[in-house]
Structure formats: structure tokens, C-alpha cells
Amino acid sequence: MHHSRGKSKNSKIAAAPKQKISYEKKVDSAVTEYAVRALNWLRKAEFLMSAPKLNLCVEDTGYEIAFAGRSNAGKSSAINALTNQKQLARASKRPGRTQMINFFSLGNPDQRLVDFLIQRKSLQGLVLLMDIRHPLQHFDVMMLEWAYSRKLFVHVLLTKSDKLNRGPASKALQEVKAQLKKMKLDFSIQLFSSLNKQGLEELASVMGGRLNFTLDQAQHFDLSSIPDATADELDTDEFDEDPEASMDLDAEDDVETKPQSEA
Ligand SMILES: Nc1nc2c(ncn2[C@@H]2O[C@H](COP(=O)(O)OP(=O)(O)OP(=O)(O)O)[C@@H](O)[C@H]2O)c(=O)[nH]1
Ligand SMILES: [Mg+2]
């Protein structure tokens, strides 16, 4: 069923006024436009390659952001939600694939997202994903300190924010913010949910800034191509009640296949 969903999506939502997508926090309309355009740009993401090791990676030129986080933090789901492509980051959900380094190009092979942390010249920084219910585990603190020591940026996502109500979620955000400050690792941080699409624009805007995405690049911009997260769109069975319990073993053996672009 996952395969048939993508096709009809854009037509279904085209009429909705896009400005209603969670812009409350944005103060400047220029920022909002940039965020929306950056999100549109991210949706041009294409699978580049899976590399089993460092010396087989794509060329180390341009700009790269790595998505890092503990197993089950929601990395693959976040990449899929961000790029609006259900299967883009499916590879690492399969056992034995988690060690692969997956590269995605974002409209340009010199602007990349990597589903794995590798340190090389083009790496600008990390999007560090933590389950909002278990933030700042040992691994996370190691990552933050490592990035800090390398002068890389970190943008923290508190993922699965849909698991908490609004109040507790923003309380968790404030608490982690305070702890980061206390550790003198005062990186940017936001709430994020691949399930209800909270925080997509904010993340797109950060990634755009870090990967040198400019409005010049945003040609043929079309607001109607950006879907809203309406309830009937959400593929809720992709989200398990108990994430620890399952792996996507039913995934077809099509990981190496470049997914069809929905653009
Ligand atoms: N409720 C909810 N569940 C989520 C969300 N994001 C991911 N999940 C679930 O959490 C589990 C792990 O998600 P993945 O995206 O595979 O996590 P990952 O970080 O890529 O995991 P590894 O590849 O094993 O390191 C899956 O069962 C997802 O369905 C979210 O925003 N909300
Ligand atoms: Mg994964």
C-alpha cells in the first residue's frame, strides 16, 4: 500500500492555503518564504548511493549534512518526512543495512544529506535526532562534544514529539535547551515529528542555510506542490506503538533502486 500512495498526493492537497502550516513562531515573512522554499528544495532529494565504507563514498565536494542519532531515534522517518518520499531512507531499516552510508542529493550533487555520520571535508554538521522521551543519552552527549570539538554545527531534533502533549513537549524542549546550555553545548534545537510533520519548515530552513541553499536555486517555485500534513495523508501504520519492538522486515528488496521522484 505504501507504493500507491505517493502518486495522488499532490493533486489531493493542491487547493489548501499553505500558510496554515505551523508558522506561528516565524516572525519575519522572508524567513517563512525561505523555509517553504527550502522544504520544496528538500523534496527534490534523490538517492545517490549506499556505501559500505568510507573509501567508496561519493566525491567529497560541496556541502553535506549527516543525520545522526541512536538506533530508533527516527532518522529514516525524518528523512522520508522531510523529503516527502516514503521510501527514500528505507534502506537502513533493514538489518545489515544500518552500517551502510546512504547519500542523498538535494537538487544538486554538491548539496547532500547523509544517513550516517562520516567525518570528511564536505561535512558541515549534524542533525542529531533524539527521542523526546529519552533525550541526551550517553551517545548523544558524545556526539555533541565530538561535533563541538570539530567546530561542526549541531541542530538537535527532539523526535516523536507527537508522543507527548503540547505542554509536556515544550517543557521537554526547554529542559534539554537548558541542559545544553549548562554543558556549554548551546546548539540549536527544535521539536520534530515525522508522524504529524511538526517542525518540517524549521528543519528545512536550518538545512538550507547550512547547505548554502539560495532562493536563486528555487526556480519554478510552486506553493501548491507542498503538501499539508492532513490526517488522511498520514501513513500511521508506518509508526509503531512500540518502536523498540520491530524492524521493517517486510520492506521490499528495492533499496538500491532510485525511488520515483514525485516532483
Ligand atoms: N510516533 C512516532 N513514531 C515515529 C516517529 N518517527 C519514527 N517513529 C517510529 O520509530 C521507529 C524508528 O524509526 P526509524 O526512522 O526507523 O529510526 P532510525 O533512527 O532510522 O533507526 P535505525 O535505522 O535503526 O538507526 C519506527 O518504528 C518508526 O515508525 C514519529 O515522529 N512519531
Ligand atoms: Mg534508519
Per residue in 128-174, pLDDT tens? 999 999 999 999 999 999 999 999 999 999 999 999 999 999 999 99
Q: Which CATH superfamily is domain 27-49+56-214 in?
A: P-loop containing nucleotide triphosphate hydrolases (3.40.50.300)
pLDDT for the residue numbered 108: 85
Q: What would the DSSP string read from start to end of 58-121? A: SPS-SEEEEEEESTTSSHHHHHHHHHT-TTTT-GGGSTTTTTSEEEEEESSTTEEEESS----T
Q: How far is the centre of ligand 2, averaged over its atoms, from the C-alpha of 147 (Å)? A: 21
Residue 233 has pLDDT above 50, yes or no: no
Does the Cβ of 131 fall within 6 Å of ligand 1?
Answer: no
Does the Cβ of 44 fall within 6 Å of ligand 1?
Answer: no
Residue type, 60: D
The pLDDT-based confidence of 1 (bands split at 50, 70, 90) is very low
Nearest listed ligand to the Cα of residue 235:
1
Does the Cβ of 83 fall within 6 Å of ligand 1?
Answer: no
Does the Cβ of 90 fall within 6 Å of ligand 1?
Answer: no
Residue nearest to atom 7 of ligand 1 (CA): 74
Would you say 48 and 100 are in contact if contact means Cβ atoms under 8 Å apart? Answer: no
Residue 223 has pLDDT above 50, yes or no: no
pLDDT for the residue numbered 28: 52
pLDDT for the residue numbered 166: 95
The pLDDT-based confidence of 197 (bands split at 50, 70, 90) is very high
Bridge pairing between strands 63-69 and 123-131: parallel
Distance CA 150, CA 171 (A): 30
Per residue in 89-140, pLDDT tens? 764 455 444 567 888 999 888 999 998 888 889 999 999 999 999 999 999 9
| Residue ranges per structural domain of the chain | 27-49+56-214
Residue 253 has pLDDT above 70, yes or no: no
Report which ligand 1 atom has the smallest distance to the Cα of 129.
Answer: 19
